[in-house]
Structure 1
Amino acid sequence: MALTATVRRAELQISDMDRGYYANHSLTLAQHPSETDERLMVRLLAFALFADDRLEFGRGLSNDDEPDLWRRDYTGDPDLWIDLGQPDESRVRKACNRSREAVVIGYGGQATETWWKKHANAMGRHRNLRVIELDSQATEALGALIQRGMRFDVIIQDGEVQMLADHGSVTLTPMVRQALAE
């Protein structure tokens, strides 16, 4: 018998003082049976970091042709492509070629460090690529906050992110491994 996805609902009240973005988002996320709680919460955090009215979740683990999150322009072409974890170089190249801006959000501690050391030179060739690394203790703490129905106040200021819920909170500062080329 096939396992089915778990449906999670999240209410985010985002106050991003770095971008001047303030909005509420009601989100429905499908958690694939092979997706960990930590990864789902990193997807939610990624949404908060890049939130806007057109940002949406891709079909995720079940579809290799779509990113974890993306924003498409009004013609349907990818404008922003966000992948999580440690994607292979060909996937990053594809993301950079298909979209105006590509973002890789790494998490997982030593695995991300090893991935970055291996791919840093290749990643540096992409002028429209941003690489961000998240602290593994913070992402594990985020994973522990998962519930079927969640509500978070997300405050982003001076590069620091606070995700506050009734049942706990996490504060982290994403480390920028590679910024967009100017």
Structure 2
Amino acid sequence: MALKPTIYKLRISLSDLNRNYYDTINLTIAQHPSETLERMMARTMAFCLNAEAELEFTKGLSEVEQPDIWQKSLEGDTLLWIDVGEPSPERIKKASRSAKRAKVYSFNSKSDTWWQQTENKINLLDAEVWQLSWDEMVRLASFTQRTMDMSVTITEESAYVTSDENEIEIHWKNLK
């Protein structure tokens, strides 16, 4: 019998000062049985950093041909393809050909090694690559609850995240 995903419900009050985008987002997130909380929260942060109409989570790990997050046009064209993790240059190449814009959010403890090994190939591709702080993703995951209200305020290259009893500042850097 296959394991079922764990469902999380997040209500996020989002203030993106970089883009003058303000919204309250109700997310239902399915955590794949093989997915860590850190990865799930990295997906959540990637969603917040790109929030706009028609942005949605895909089947992700359950469907290898899809990104973690995408935005489709009304005609069905992929406008934005977002992968979370450390995808191969071949996958990033596919993403940049399949979508008008492609982004990668790297986040784990091996992120620096992945970038050193793939930077030359990825720099030839039409995609943005960002690195979220691993230590901060671990801390954010540690206070994640199945149902929670969060406030996310984005300014420059950080996001201030608060929940009922916790707060953290998440940083990222642009690798490409």
Deviation per CA, 1:85-134: give whole Å up to 9, x if none: 1111111110000011111100112x11111111111111123x110001
Aligned equivalents of 1:100, 1:132: Cα separation in 2 = 18
1:112 is matched with 111
1:56 is matched with 56
3-state SS, counterpart of residue 166 of structure 1:
coil
3-state SS, counterpart of residue 175 of structure 2:
strand
Given that residues 104 and 131 in structure 1 are in contact (C-alpha distance below 8 angstroms), is that contact kept between their aligned partners in structure 2?
A: yes
1:149 is matched with 147
Indicate whether 1:121 and 2:117 are aligned: no
What is the one-letter code of the residue matched to 2:122? M
3-state SS, counterpart of residue 121 of structure 1:
helix
2:165 is matched with 167
3-state SS, counterpart of residue 18 of structure 1:
coil
Aligned equivalents of 2:88, 2:165: Cα separation in 1 = 36
2:10 is matched with 10
TM-score, normalised to structure 1, is 0.94
Aligned equivalents of 1:18, 1:99: Cα separation in 2 = 23
Aligned equivalents of 1:95, 1:144: Cα separation in 2 = 31
What is the one-letter code of the residue matched to 1:95? A
TM-score, normalised to structure 2, is 0.97
What is the one-letter code of the residue matched to 1:21? Y
2:134 is matched with 136
Q: CA deviation at 1:76?
A: 1.0
Given that residues 17 and 157 in structure 1 are in contact (C-alpha distance below 8 angstroms), is that contact kept between their aligned partners in structure 2?
A: yes
2:174 is matched with 176
Q: CA deviation at 1:142?
A: 1.1
Deviation per CA, 1:43-97: give whole Å up to 9, x if none: 1111110001211001011101110001111211111100011111111110000
Aligned equivalents of 2:140, 2:68: Cα separation in 1 = 18
Indicate whether 1:102 and 2:102 are aligned: yes
Aligned equivalents of 1:138, 1:144: Cα separation in 2 = 10
Root-mean-square deviation (CA), in Å? Answer: 0.9
**Gapped regions of structure 1 (runs ≥ 5):** none
Aligned equivalents of 1:144, 1:35: Cα separation in 2 = 15
Aligned equivalents of 2:167, 2:42: Cα separation in 1 = 14
Q: CA deviation at 1:2?
A: 2.0
Percentage of identical aligned residues = 35
Aligned equivalents of 2:39, 2:150: Cα separation in 1 = 17
Moved over 4 A (4+): none
Given that residues 18 and 159 in structure 1 are in contact (C-alpha distance below 8 angstroms), is that contact kept between their aligned partners in structure 2?
A: no
